[in-house]
Structure 1
Amino acid sequence: MKKTIALFATAILMVFQVAMADGDKVVKIKTTAVCEMCKARIERTLGLSKGVKESNLDLKDKTVTVKYNPNKTSPEAIRETIINTGYDADDQTANMKAHDKLPSCCRKTAAPH
Structure 2
Amino acid sequence: MKNVLKSAVLLFTLLLVSNTAIAQKSNQKAVIKTTLHCSHCKQCETCGLKFSTEMLKIKGVKMYELDDKNMTFTIYYNPKKATLQEIKEGISKLGYDADEVKATAEGIASLDGCCKA
**Normalising by structure 1, what TM-score?**
0.71
Inter-partner Cα distance in structure 2 for 1:59 and 1:53: 20
Which one of 57, 72, 82 corresponds to residue 66 of structure 2? 57
Query: Which contiguous aligned blocks of 4+ residues in structure 1 show a shift greater than 3 angstroms?
Result: 14-19
- Deviation at 1:96? 1.1
Which one of 84, 90, 98 corresponds to residue 93 of structure 2? 84
- Deviation at 1:43? 4.7
- Deviation at 1:19? 3.9
Q: 1:29 to 1:87 in 2, by over 3 A?
A: same
Which one of 17, 20, 39 corresponds to residue 24 of structure 2? 20
Inter-partner Cα distance in structure 1 for 2:52 and 2:35: 14
What SS does the corresponding residue of 1:66 show, helix, strand or coil?
Answer: strand
- Deviation at 1:77? 0.8
TM-align CA RMSD: 2.4
- Report sequence identity in percent: 34
Which amino acid in the other structure matches residue 24 of structure 1? N
Deviations 1:52-79 (A, max 9, x none): 1101111010100111111001111110
Does the aligned pair in 1 maintain the 2:59–2:87 contact within 8 Å?
no
Does the aligned pair in 2 maintain the 1:31–1:63 contact within 8 Å?
yes
Q: Structure 2 regions of 5+ residues with no counterpart?
A: 1-16
Alignment partner of 1:68 is 2:77: yes
Q: 1:62 to 1:16 in 2, by over 3 A?
A: farther
Q: Structure 1 regions of 5+ residues with no counterpart?
A: 1-13, 109-113
Greater Rg over alpha carbons, structure:
2
Inter-partner Cα distance in structure 2 for 1:84 and 1:55: 16
How many aligned positions are there? 97
**Normalising by structure 2, what TM-score?**
0.69
Which amino acid in the other structure matches residue 90 of structure 1? D
What's the counterpart of residue 29 of structure 1? 32
What's the counterpart of residue 5 of structure 1? none
